[in-house]
Amino acid sequence: MGVSIEEHVPASLLDEASEALEELAGVLADGQTLNDALQQLVESASRVIPDAENVSVTLVGPQGPHTAAMTDEKVVDIDIDQYKAGQGPCLEAARIQRPVRVTLEGGRVKWPEFARAAEAAGVQAYLSAPIVIEDEVIGALNLYSSDERAFDPFDEALLRLFVTAASTSITGFRRYERSRRLVEHLQRALESRAEIDQAKGVLMAAHGVDAEDAFSRLVTESQQRNTKLRDVARNLLASVRRP
């Protein structure tokens, strides 16, 4: 009969991992930025995952990959050299959508740029897992250790939990940003509507026309001048207010 990972691990460590993930769940709810959430995530992962001496988050965007959060600046060069070369365990994990573990010696032939940077930083073992949101790979969570024997199956299991937390944080932030943009759009639309209604009132009073005719005049002006309707209304109101 198989033995579960939990049976090899002190309950206190599992409790600490659970508490760390609960803390992360509340970060965005407190109004912090995505960078704040990712920074808390790497610090929590470094504290909870036994062999992870340092942790970083790689995000892949239109401008290419970049390191969005890290526990120590000294490990950033390891990821930057991978970005420049276009290859390495971090990018490999994102490409194949599976965790990738590599030692310094094991990476010398396949990823020489990574190996040189890792050696300079004193890193002997590296574990990276992809961050995937709705089938889209948006980056990776990377662990570093000075021990070549680092990162066993339990470390990888914990890493997967933190990857899930990262995905949740980024998804929540994206939804927040979409909601914020929608609210701003609605606010602008309401402001524009108010200005258009005021401009209609001005035309109705000045020319003795009804609301439909006043609106038609604004639309005609907008088309003739190739100007947005709200700008036509705004200019009209400004001319009325001008001494």
Please tell me whether residues 194 and 110 are part of one structural domain: no
What's the average model confidence in pLDDT over 1-14? 47
CA of 236: how far to CAs of 196, 233, 242, in Å? 10, 5, 10
Please tell me whether residues 137 and 235 are part of one structural domain: no
How many DSSP H helices and E strands does the chain contain? 9, 5
Please tell me whether residues 25 and 41 are part of one structural domain: yes
Rg (CA), the chain: 28
Looking up residue 230, the CATH number of its domain turns out to be: 1.10.10.10
CA distance 43 to 38: 9
User: pLDDT at residue 102 above 90?
Assistant: yes
What's the pLDDT at 45? Answer: 87
Q: How confident is the model at residue 143 (pLDDT cuts 50, 70, 90)?
A: very high
What's the average model confidence in pLDDT over 180-185? 62
Looking up residue 79, the CATH number of its domain turns out to be: 3.30.450.40
Is the dihedral angle over the CA atoms 200, 201, 203, 204 positive or is it negative?
Answer: positive
Assessment of whether the complete model's pTM goes beyond 0.75 = no
Please tell me whether residues 28 and 139 are part of one structural domain: yes
Please tell me whether residues 123 and 216 are part of one structural domain: no
Please tell me whether residues 158 and 202 are part of one structural domain: no
**Cβ–Cβ under 8 Å, residues 129 and 166:** no
**Taking CA 182 as the corner, what is the angle to CA 176 and CA 183, rounded to the nearest 5 degrees?**
90
What's the average model confidence in pLDDT over 68-81? 91
Higher pLDDT, 31 or 208: 208
Beta bridge partners of 132: 137
Pairing between strand 100-103 and 64-70? unpaired
Q: What is the DSSP string of 40-73?
A: HHHHHHHHHSTT-SEEEEEEEETTEEEEEEES-G
Provide the CA 111 distance to its chain's centre, in angstroms: 27
Please tell me whether residues 173 and 188 are part of one structural domain: no
Average pLDDT in the chain: 80
* Residue span of the structural domain in which 124 resides: 5-180
What's the pLDDT at 179? Answer: 63
Q: Which of 180, 200, 228 is the last residue of a domain?
A: 180
